[in-house]
Amino acid sequence: MDDLNAQQIVLLTLLVSFVTSIATGITTVSLLEKAPEPITQTINRVVEKTVERVIETDDGDKPVEKIVETVVVNAEDLTIDAVQKNSDSLVRIYTKSGGNKAFVSMGIVISGGGDILADAAGLFKGATYVGVYSTGEKDLELFFRESNNPFAVLKIKGENTETFVPAAFGDSQGVKLGQSVIALSGQSSNYVLTGIITSLDKAEIPADPADPNSQPSTLIKTINTSVTGPEILTGSVLLNLKGEILGARINTGLVKSGAFLPSADIKSFISSGLAENSGETE
């Protein structure tokens, strides 16, 4: 060191700093790879969004003041909001015989009048049903069920003056692999599980030869996730971090654990008018 001039000492210092920074980076990456999954998820799932807040001044001659602030929102906050947003749109369906009740499945509120969409496989003509809404218990009647349709609809028996919260459905055809999702289930109370989309079962739709403007397309038929286990009951819903329903656990036709029928199928069924106009068919 005594033989080095000032310029050589500066260069040596820079070299040592460079080597040290590389070593630090390698060590950090290695530690993150070995860290438990919840820790890495916490690091990777922090979301930033910019909110523009407009404040109007009293003096009309002055320009409007705009304050831009950055709000940090983590996955935990988004999950809590998504669950709260859907809590009033889920119903637990039971059969009733005498004074006894037996759980059948979960259902989704699809109208302000409290109409429920559920898995047709667990519902049958002649049975007596009761629905446990967020506001209390209601007697139900089976309104629609067809053997070739995975969905059934139940309505509240008699006159109803209460207004319910219909579910909000998201774009299930726009989901991506690796996307974070939330499953909302629970036989007696809400049970939450989180995971990601692991694979998508798709069908290729050819172009319509009668329509010169028609283009071939791809349709998502099943959303497969890492959310599995006995806690995922029939009728459980799959949510995105916005709190929109992306799918439902309709066991009819679903084989894979963690698989959900996309919400596009539910929206198509509702828009067909069957949920409102058909009446019980079986």
Comparing CA positions, the residue from 86, 91, 126, 115 lying closest to residue 105 is 91
In a domain, 41, yes or no: no
Least confident of 18-27, 52-61, 67-76: 52-61
Q: Residue 63 has what pLDDT?
A: 58
In a domain, 55, yes or no: yes
CATH number, domain at 114? 2.40.10.10
Domain boundary among 166, 193, 225: 166
Residues of the chain with pLDDT > 90, as a percent, come to 52
- Do 71 and 89 belong together in one domain? no
| Residue 241 pLDDT level (bands cut at 50, 70, 90) | very high
- Do 189 and 267 belong together in one domain? yes
pLDDT in tens, 194-237: 999 999 999 988 888 888 887 888 899 999 999 998 889 999 99
Instruction: Give the predicted TM-score (pTM) of the model.
Output: 0.73
Q: 150: which DSSP letter?
A: S
- Do 178 and 230 belong together in one domain? yes
Expressed in angstroms, the distance from the first to the final Cα of the chain is 94
Q: Residue 29 has what pLDDT?
A: 52
Are the C-beta atoms of residues 280 and 143 closer than 8 Å to each other? yes
CA 251 → CA 1, 29, 248, 254, distances in Å?
75, 42, 9, 5
pLDDT in tens, 22-51: 766 666 556 555 555 544 444 444 444 555
- Do 136 and 192 belong together in one domain? no
- In the three-class reduction of DSSP (H, G, I as helix; E, B as strand; rest coil), residue 159 is classed as coil
The number of distinct structural domains making up the chain is 3
- The answer on pLDDT for 125 being more than 80 is yes
- The answer on pLDDT for 57 being more than 60 is no
Are the C-beta atoms of residues 142 and 129 closer than 8 Å to each other? yes
In a domain, 38, yes or no: no
Which residue has 């990777």 as its token pair? 44
**What domain range is 161 assigned to?**
85-166
Q: Residue 64 has what pLDDT?
A: 61
pLDDT in tens, 128-147: 999 999 999 999 999 999 98
- The answer on pLDDT for 165 being more than 90 is yes
Domain boundary among 63, 78, 93: 78
Q: Residue 113 has what pLDDT?
A: 94
- E runs forming strands in the chain: 46-55, 65-74, 90-97, 100-109, 116-119, 129-133, 136-145, 151-156, 180-185, 191-205, 217-225, 237-239, 245-248, 259-262
Q: Residue 236 has what pLDDT?
A: 95
* Backbone φ and ψ of 115, nearest 5°: -60, 145
